[in-house]
Amino acid sequence: MSRSVIANIALPDPGKDLGLAAAVFPGGGYQLLPEHEGAPVARWLASVGVAAAVIEYPVQQRHPAPLEASLDALGELRGLDGFRDRRLGVVGFSAGAHLAGMCCHPEAFGFRVPRPDFAVFGYPLISMDADTHRGSMETLLGPDADDQTRHTLSIDRLVDPQTPPSFVWQTDEDTSVPVINSMRYALACYRSQVPIELHVFAHGPHALGLAGGAYAEPWTALCARWLAALPD
């Protein structure tokens, strides 16, 4: 079985420590792992009080290989110095948010492991059927995936009252992953009474990462405030 690599560990200064940890899942359409959605995000998380590490999960492999490897990595991360005894969440971008969303619902795929304690999704790929990103879907499931398989791997269909509190952001101008993905997830959380904060910015393309200098740049400050306010 392919394994994930835990990389780019970043720890917060003791004076700013929120007692949280996060596993960062870059996007890349299940085909590659963009650097700007990995190490810089881990460093930013550490700067706002969250211990962080990047999960370099296997790409160009069919389901369930990325999920199995990622759940194993989360289990390993929970036992590492600097991460032990922290509430562990997931931070994902694009297809990485889809993978992180599956990690939030392991029972749906037959895994009996703890769920993450919170989720942060940037321009997330949520649906594998309606309004999906076809390249990501076909890389993960193949071009001939049946409707039932695509439904099962659509994160909005997995949301239940135990889904972790979530922060989601995207831009309305995203032409790669339609913004309706974020809205579907937010609506599913609302219906299941899961705490959800959604920000849709008017301008900007897909794959902004930390969005420095872009219209959506405020997402980092908004997210930092949300993380600091998470209940114990």
What is the percentage of the chain residues whose pLDDT exceeds 70? 100
Q: What confidence tens digit (pLDDT) does each residue in 156-198 have?
A: 999 999 999 999 999 999 999 999 999 999 999 999 999 999 9
Tell me the pLDDT tens digit for each residue of 25-63: 999 999 999 999 999 999 999 999 999 999 999 999 999
Token code pair at residue 116:
């993450």
- What domain count does the chain have? 1
Q: Are 95 and 132 in contact (CB under 8 A)?
A: no
CA dihedral 96, 99, 101, 105 (to 10 degrees): -160
| pLDDT for the residue numbered 196 | 98
Domain holding 215, by residue range, is 5-228
CATH of the domain at 21: 3.40.50.1820
Distance (Å, whole) CA 190 – CA 63: 28
Determine the Cα angle at 53 with ends 169 and 172, to 5°: 15
User: Residues 117-159: pLDDT tens digits?
Assistant: 999 999 999 999 989 999 999 999 999 999 999 999 999 999 9
- Answer whether residue 1 shows pLDDT above 90: no
115: amino acid identity, one letter? R
